[in-house]
Amino acid sequence: MLLERVRLSLLLMMGGPAIALANPGAAPGEQFTFKLSMGPIVGGRARMSIGSVKYAGKSGNMLSVRAQAEGAPWVQLVAKMQDDYSLVVDPQSLLPLEVIEIEHGGNERRIQVTITSRNVEIDLQMHKTKQHLKRVMPTEVHDPLSAYFAIRALALNEGERITLDILDGNSLWRSTVVVSHIKKLMLDENGPNPRAVPAILLSGTSTRIDDTGKPMPVPPRKARIWLSEDSLRTLLRLEADTKLGLAALELTSYEATASARKKIGSGTLAKVPGVTVMSSDQLPHWDRP
C-alpha cells in the first residue's frame, strides 16, 4: 500500500514537559506534493495540506492535516490504489489527537485512532471484521506525520540523536535518527529539472516494541530523511529499504502562505513532548557519529 511505503521512512522520525507556546513544527496554509517511487520507477504521487479545525474538549484551533497517496495511471490499470489519511494535532505540543486512515484497493481497511496522553483507543475495520482496542503506551506517542512536525521544530544540531515512539496504525515503533548536515542533495536527478540543494540528513532505525516498551522479534526498519537546510525544514526526500527494493518519496512542490512561512521560520525548540534529544557529547565515546 502506498502510504505504508511513505511511512516506512516517516517512522524513522523520533520527552519532555508540555510546551506553553505554539510550536513552529507545522502551520495552517502549508501544502506539499511528492512523487513516490520503487527503485527507478515512479509509481504514484502523494500530497499533504495543513489547515485548522475545532476539536471537542480543546480550546482554540487545532491543526488539521490531510494527506492522500495514489498510484500512477499505469498502476491503476492493474489495481486501484489510493490511501486517505486525516490527522488532528495539538499545535502546542505537536502531539496527535486523532488519526483516521482509509485504504482503498486490494486491502480495504479503515482505522481510527484517538489519543489522550498515553491512552489510545483504536477502531479497526477490515472487510466485515471490526475490532476495538484500548491500549496504554509506554510514552507519549506520535503518528508518522506529527513525528515530522516534531523533528522539524527542533534545532537539529550536528551529531544529535533523536528518539521517539511512533504509532503507525496498530503497530508501535521506537525510532532513532542521527542528524548530519550535508552539503547538497540531488533532487529530480533523472528528471527534467535536476538540481542540488543544501540539506540535513537524518539516518535512523525503527524497532518494533510492545506496550511496555520492550523490543519485539520483528526485523528493524532503516531509512534516510532529508530536510531543507533553511528555516522552513521542508521535507525533501525519504528513502527506505523494503522487500521490494528502495522505496522513495521526493518533494515536487511546496507552497505556504506568508503567515505559515513566518511561523515555521520563527525559531526552534529545545524540547518537544514525547521526543528525547541527546547531543553528540552526551553519547558514549564509542557511539558518537
- List, for residues 41-65, the tens digit of each pLDDT value: 667 899 999 999 999 989 999 999 9
The candidate with the shortest Cα–Cα distance to 269, out of 93, 90, 120, 101, is 93
Given a cut of 60, is residue 73 above it in pLDDT? no
Helices (DSSP H) in the chain: which residue ranges?
Answer: 2-10, 73-76, 144-152, 258-264
pLDDT of residue 104: 79
Three-state SS annotation for 86-151: EEEECCCCCCEEEEEEEEECCCCEEEEEEEECCEEEEEEEECCEEEEEEEECCCCEECHHHHHHHH
**For residue 228, what is its C-alpha cell?**
531543507
* pLDDT single digits (tens) 214-244: 999 999 999 999 999 999 999 999 998 776 6
Question: Residue 156: which region, alpha, beta or left (left: phi > 0; alpha: psi -120 to 50)?
Answer: left
Q: How far apart are CA 174 and CA 141, in angstroms?
A: 10
Amino acid at 212: T
User: CB of 6 within 8 A of CB of 12?
Assistant: no
Specify the pLDDT at position 13: 39
Q: Which uninterrupted H or E stretch holds 197?
A: strand 195-208
> What is the predicted pLDDT for the residue at 282?
66
Of 147, 148, 149, 5, residue with least CA distance to 70 = 5
- Separation of alpha carbons 181 and 201, rounded Å: 6
